[in-house]
Structure formats: structure tokens, C-alpha cells
A and B are shown apart, each in its own frame.
Chain A
Amino acid sequence: MTGPFQIEYAGSADTSAQVPATPRNVPNRGGPVNPSATDLRAKFAAAIRRVDVVWNETNVYVAPEAALDIIRWLHDDPSQRYDYLADITAVEYRDLEQPVEVVWHLRSLPYRRFLRVKAQLTKNRPLEIPSVWSIYKSADWLERECYDMFGIKFVGHPDLRRILMWEQYREGFPLRKDFPLRGRFSRAEQLRQALAANPEARYSMEELSIADAFEDLPTDMRQRLRGGERTGE
């Protein structure tokens, strides 16, 4: 790995790379495979289920239990250097028999590569997958969002709780296929629960209080306030 403050120009590690151009006439299936997929095949033969090329982007299907090792290798290995985690999301298909997919979008800025890693979770077991927070700190909120919307537990995440919906939200996981569009509760019940939430629950009252700034005020203002005088009345 390079030092933390060394500027890395996109594509600078790959000396044979050509100047990127707007892709034209991209086929739906097939085309040049990302070399990282070939390297993964050589390195993790047992854990690589399938490699697709869709619209010039390479999808690698990996075994869920090996996902963490594979992503760590992609991040650490000097021939890969996937240093940017663009997104973590999940897919549930309309065919309820199909497994849920967890998707990582990885980008290697030095090699100017994009790789989509997918892991399939069967539904007859709890939806659990190792967290990549130990590799990419940006996975924190992405995994929280994925947990919030799909209910996938990221094992090893330091603080896995809801991020978009409020923490007392009880109706389930909104992006799951079995979730009704309008939620499970009646509108009145939803509103009652929402209004019962304390919008400042995550802040301490001391943090919000202007009274704490009292000592920072000018002397004359402090004296006037001590004397009971109030502004704005």
C-alpha cells in the first residue's frame, strides 16, 4: 500500500492502460473480462461460483463465507488495489425462490478497474454476511442502510442499527418483496408512532443548550443575564 497522503492518479499503476474513451456498441453479454476476475479464479478457485460480463462490467459470484477474504485480497494485493468501495446493496428477486444477493461495487483507482462482487444468500437460513467494515470504513453507513432496507445482518459491523428509518421502526424491512408498499400498519398508527418518536433522542440536551455557551459570552451580557434580564421579551 502507498502512504496515506500520496496522491494516486487514476490508472497510474497500469502502465499499459490506454486512455479511457466512451464505450460504444457495448454488447449486453460477453466482452472483455476484468483481469481481476481471472486472478480471482486462480487464487480462490473453490469460492468463485460464476463470472459474468454484462454491459462491459464484470460480475463475480462468490461464496458468502469467502466474501470477506476475497474482498480483503482485492483491497490489499498490489496487483489489484481496489481502494474504493463505491456501494453495498442487495437484490431480492420477484421469484421468491431465488436467493437474496448482496452486491459490492469495488473500484480500483490505480488500475482503473470496476468489479461487481455478488454473494447469494439462501432464504432458508438467516441472512448473514461478514462485514467489510474492517477493510473499508465507508462500509459503515452502506451496511447500515442495507440492513435497514433488507434486514441483512453484517456480522462484525461495529454499530449495526437502522439509518434511514427511525430506530423504533417496527414494520419490517421496506425493500423486501414481502413488504407491502404502504407499510404494515394503518396510516393512523404510523403517524402515532412517528410523532411519539423523539427527534432529539440522538443528541444530548446539553449539546443543544445555548445555556452552555454562557461562559463564552461577553462580561456585560453575562452580568445582565445574571441580573435576570432577558432579551427578546
Chain B
Amino acid sequence: MSEAVIAVALVWVAASGTAVVLTRDPLCQAFVAGFFGLGLAFLYLSLQAGDVALSQIVVGAIALPLIVLLSLAKVGKDRG
């Protein structure tokens, strides 16, 4: 049972990690990177590393997308 959960988590991380690299538009990439971060958190949780999973959620799902989105808004505003 736990092996199935770990397998799902590993496939999710591999697929979404590849998707982050293949996404060309930075705005879409921020969202895809968020899903990648969520997959990593799920992987850590399935390996029973609860503390690391929480850190991954707060950094990968809150801090990183916020900074990317605000930077993109700044760049877009100065150009437009």
C-alpha cells in the first residue's frame, strides 16, 4: 500500500518536473511550478518526512509563486 503511494508521488514529481521545464511562458510556468512543489510535498509526506513536507508547502506553494507573479507584474507594467 505505502509503496503504491510512493510510486504515485514519484511519478507525479517526475511528470510535473518535466512539465516545468517544457513550459515556455513564465506566467504558466509559475502555476506549473506550484503543482510541482505540491508533488514534492506529497512525496516527502509519503516518505514520512512531515517537517520537510510542511516547509516545502510554505516555500513551494506560497513564497515562490508569489515572488514570481509579483516580479512578472512589475516587468509587464514597466513595459506596457
Q: Are A and B genuine complex partners?
A: no
A contact set with B: CB distance below 8 Å: none
B contact set with A: CB distance below 8 Å: none
